[in-house]
Amino acid sequence: MTDLYFAYCQGDILLTAEGNVPFGTSAPVDFQPWEHVTDITHTSLPCEERNTDAVRCHIYRLDSPVTGRADLQMMGLRKTFDILSPALYQLAGKCAELVYWDQNSKYCGCCGAPMQWHTDISKHCTGCRKELWPQLATAIIVRVTRKNRELEDEILMVHAHNFRGHFYGLVAGFVETGETLEECVCREVWEETHLRVRNIRYFASQPWPYPAGLMIGFTAEYAGGELQLQREELGGGGWFRRDALPEMPNRSSLARWLIDDWLNQET
């Protein structure tokens, strides 16, 4: 079994100078006892490029970033998408989510007593024994397309105020209590753009550890309505042809996967 060391500080992860997650029989730095969050045993699913080798993940939340080491570096977790393997990037995201969850589940919401780790991914209350598991914020993201009057393919792209950059993405939003994923797609598109959609189809999903989410991607076709942007959330948006696209999201996001898939459909 391989021992991996996942250490985080304010959104950054500790990597070797070569861009790997530290591994070996001993920790890469002298972690303080209180910096240790938990240990988990992870076995990849036997599908695609993954294997069934088990790894032991030692997870830490650092008080301060590691500096002054030529053999180690701190890097933003999002940037590691282009460096780590897909399976290791996803595992790094999972460990980051456990760090975030641990920070926000110190005490029981029912009786106020301290919570204690019980399994790899659960805690129980030291008072009332209530069990607790990490909660995911489920969100949808949808690629809406249409034919314009000249029968050219167009895609709906928007720029949200909370985007870190000038790129345009796709309509997205969180699933509300009591609604299906498909209902959420329709609601979010209507609320953000005042458009109606049809032929909603599942595309793919992506863990999104920023800080703890699951993004579920769909495709849909324009069914009617005039574009009216929800200005409280969106700073821009519109229909774009393949030859006139705005700046796009980076390749680590499900939004970009959906857009690239549409671009590859060109005949």
Domain boundaries, the chain: 2-104, 105-135, 137-263
Q: Which CATH superfamily is domain 137-263 in?
A: Nucleoside Triphosphate Pyrophosphohydrolase (3.90.79.10)
pLDDT digits (tens, 9 = 90+) for 97-128: 999 999 999 999 999 999 999 999 999 999 99
Confidence of residue 1 (pLDDT cuts 50, 70, 90): confident
3-state secondary structure the chain: CEEEEEEEECCEEEEECCCCCCECCCCCCCCCHHHEEEEEEEECCCCCCCCCCEEEEEEEECCCCCCCCCCEEEEEHHHHHHCCCHHHHHHHHHHHHHHHHHHCCCECCCCCCEEEEEECCEEEECCCCCEECCCCEEEEEEEEEEECCCCCEEEEEEEECCCCCCCCECEEEECCCCCCHHHHHHHHHHHHHCCEEEEEEEEEEEEECCCCEEEEEEEEEEEECCCCCCCCCEEEEEEEEHHHCCCCCCCCCHHHHHHHHHHCCCC
CATH topology match: 2-104 vs 137-263? yes
2-104 in CATH: which number? Answer: 3.90.79.10
More confident residue, 55 or 266: 55
pLDDT digits (tens, 9 = 90+) for 147-201: 988 889 999 999 999 888 899 999 999 999 999 999 999 999 999 999 999 999 9
pLDDT digits (tens, 9 = 90+) for 258-267: 999 999 997 5
